[in-house]
Structure 1
Amino acid sequence: MKPTIIKLRILFARYNRLLRFAVTGLVIVLVVIAASRQFAGIKLDEIRRAAQELSVPKLLWSSLLGLACFLIAGVYDVVEDYFHDSALSKLQLLWIGWTSQAFGRFLGFGGLSGGALRLKLYRRYHSNRDNTMGYAARIWAAGLTGVCLFLMLGLPFAVGIYEPFLLLLCFLFSLYLPFYYLTGVIKIGRLNIRDSQIGRMPLREKLSLHLVSSLEWLGAFAFFAYTIRLFSPGIFLPLLLFVFVAATALGYMSFIPGGFGSFDLAAISMLGILGLEKEKVVLSLLLYRLIFFFLPFILFMIILGINSYLRFRRQRIIDFYNM
């Protein structure tokens, strides 16, 4: 039995990337098929008519509100610095947090892309590799705890409205929250999570990062709710919260960059069950995506590019005078 398990492990390790791309590709195909069915009855004229309600002042206010809700994400690094001093200024920590989160939200891949950029930015300012790995790992581990908490809170409101299979999926996803808190005691054979960066986190640190995650996702939901109620007022907020976190969870499980397609399709389907017009939901989601995903990504990538160019020029000047 053991040699078979070892062979399976070797096989999985060898074709891990290929399998991941195959699964992601399959999910994308399924999302495209499902989306084509969902969008079949949508009237573009209705979307244009609803879009005319958006004045320039309202669009500017929406952009400011979306950015304000997004900026909560930078607090992760400030909180983590309280427990593990990085010797970086608060502004540098916020800059790293905002840039990483903007990158991670846009590209997705389960938050791994944002974690990779966070690692790179910390290494730019910090020489201790172990600490750098620790910062990125602990923040990545805490990132979804807020979603899990809101899933648990929202599930009772969704019973009897949505399919039991969807509720079961959401419940299973939410079990990551107790797992997060139990990482300090989990050891199954060679799988020793309690000795990892996450497992060694004290309870106070876990609670603090969980609080930040809850605030981050509450901010994201606040803007999502704003965009939905902009065109479809009167929807019950606790039920809308469940729709948001369930669609977010499905987006993460799909491993599609940014959850694009899977999140939107889930939100359109679930909001359609609540009686909302698809055309207005599509417009709300478009506004949500443009302001909460594209705008921070473009803004912080421009700042990152300028920052990298200035660092390069400064280094060239230093090298010139040291010749």
Structure 2
Amino acid sequence: MSIFKNKKLITIVKYFVPLIILIIIFFEARNFFTHFNWSLLDHYLDRLSLFNILFIILLGLIALVPMFFYDVILTRLLNIKISTKKLIGYSLSANAYSNLIGFGGVAGATLRTIYYRPYIKDSTPYIKIIAKLSLFYLCGLSILSWFVLFTSNGLFSELRLAHIAAWGIALYAPILLIVFFFKRKLWDLSNVKRDFITELMMISVFEWLFVVICIWGIVNIMGFTISLIAVFPIVILGACAGIVSMLPGGIGSFDLVILLGFEAQGIPGELGLLVLMFYRACYYIIPALLGTPFALNALWGKLKPDRFI
């Protein structure tokens, strides 16, 4: 009975928290867009050349590079022999859909189980390994959050809710590591060496640093000069808010925090919105489109035998 109540409580929280956050975002966004000049969007767009747009797309794809090494580690851990070309395709689609859909990386973990199952020749519990190791993908953001919390106090007056979210994310890595090292039986991952965990955490740090660089690059391409140090805390706080909101891709919460943070740095709201539009396109949508053929091919290969029995 208690298990049923706990599941019911988790379900309520899962839907209630995003709903409350959406309501807060609605009222905050309404205040932000009150003095918004939509005609300025055309002005900023006209300043972009085709080369600028292509370079922005390239930035988004480069930002995904660190995530490729998640799959490199998984193939080593699962003792899988696979061509680099195929691994790049699998990694691109798994990470792109994981970013786009969110939900704790469920989409990415699901695709990886489909991709790597044909290569597993023994009784290796690959699904359990993929699912549990994916928990470490957030550690990089957790580590970077500590730097923001102790070095960027000036932003917190503008982004109070994001400050709270950052504390929640900052505590994630320490708690996860405590559970991992002192409750190894609970994890049942005795075959996973600590070196793999360290590597996963380092990859995660670079993953989020590349996101910061991507957004910083887009801002500068759009014609507004700003330092990487100024963009760093804004993006990290936005990412924390997006994760805590539990909304797909952190949509809404991430964007609002970025816009408010940009405004605090003197970046016009219209330019900030355009930066976010390009970021969403180059980091989420275009990689997902490029990765779709790999996902469809793998799904077709999985379903095809059943269709002709």
Report the residue type matching 1:43 in the other structure.
N
Which residue in 2 is equivalent to 1:290?
A: 281
**Structure 2 spans left out of the alignment, 5+ residues:** none
Which residue in 2 is equivalent to 1:135?
A: 130
Q: Is the 8 A contact 1:123 1:129 kept in 2?
A: no
Superposition pairs for residues 293-308 of structure 1, below 5 Å?
A: 293-308=284-299
Which residue in 1 is equivalent to 2:50?
A: 56
Which residue in 1 is equivalent to 2:79?
A: 85
Which residue in 2 is equivalent to 1:113?
A: 107
Superposition pairs for residues 169-184 of structure 1, below 5 Å?
A: 169-184=165-180
Q: Is the 8 A contact 2:141 2:208 kept in 1?
A: yes
Deviation at 1:108, TM superposition (A): 1.0
Which residue in 2 is equivalent to 1:237?
A: 228
Q: Counterparts of 2:115 and 2:254 in 1: how far apart (Å)?
A: 29
- Larger Cα Rg: Structure 1 or Structure 2? 1
Q: Counterparts of 2:176 and 2:291 in 1: how far apart (Å)?
A: 30
Q: Is the 8 A contact 1:119 1:133 kept in 2?
A: no
- Structure 1 pair 302–88 and aligned structure 2 pair: CA distance change class (3 A): closer
Which residue in 2 is equivalent to 1:189?
A: none
Which residue in 2 is equivalent to 1:223?
A: 214
Q: Is the 8 A contact 2:218 2:279 kept in 1?
A: yes
Report the residue type matching 2:174 in the other structure.
P
Which residue in 2 is equivalent to 1:263?
A: 254
- Structure 1 pair 71–199 and aligned structure 2 pair: CA distance change class (3 A): same
Which residue in 2 is equivalent to 1:47?
A: 41
Q: Counterparts of 2:20 and 2:189 in 1: how far apart (Å)?
A: 31
Q: Give the TM-score normalised by the residue count of structure 1.
A: 0.84
- Structure 1 pair 310–185 and aligned structure 2 pair: CA distance change class (3 A): closer
Of structures 1 and 2, the one scoring higher in RCO (CA 8 A, sep 6+) is 2
Q: Is the 8 A contact 1:185 1:199 kept in 2?
A: no
Q: Counterparts of 1:270 and 1:198 in 2: how far apart (Å)?
A: 41
Q: Is the 8 A contact 2:224 2:267 kept in 1?
A: no
- Structure 1 pair 135–275 and aligned structure 2 pair: CA distance change class (3 A): same
Which residue in 2 is equivalent to 1:3?
A: none
Deviation at 1:227, TM superposition (A): 1.0
Deviation at 1:171, TM superposition (A): 2.9
Q: Is the 8 A contact 1:154 1:242 kept in 2?
A: yes
Deviation at 1:178, TM superposition (A): 2.0
Q: Give the TM-score normalised by the residue count of structure 2.
A: 0.87
For the aligned residue pairs, the C-alpha RMSD in angstroms reads 2.7
- Structure 1 pair 238–97 and aligned structure 2 pair: CA distance change class (3 A): same
Q: Deviations over 1:171-223 (max 9, x none)?
A: 3321222223323344xxxxx56530568743211111111112222222211
Which residue in 2 is equivalent to 1:122?
A: 116
Q: Counterparts of 1:203 and 1:307 in 2: how far apart (Å)?
A: 31
Q: Counterparts of 1:206 and 1:241 in 2: how far apart (Å)?
A: 25
SS at match of 1:235: coil
SS at match of 2:214: helix
Report the residue type matching 1:241 in the other structure.
F
**Structure 1 spans left out of the alignment, 5+ residues:** 1-5, 187-191
Deviation at 1:261, TM superposition (A): 0.9
- Structure 1 pair 97–44 and aligned structure 2 pair: CA distance change class (3 A): same
Q: Is the 8 A contact 2:109 2:130 kept in 1?
A: no
Q: Are residues 1:150 and 2:141 paired? A: no
Deviation at 1:249, TM superposition (A): 0.9
The percentage of aligned residue pairs carrying the same residue is 19
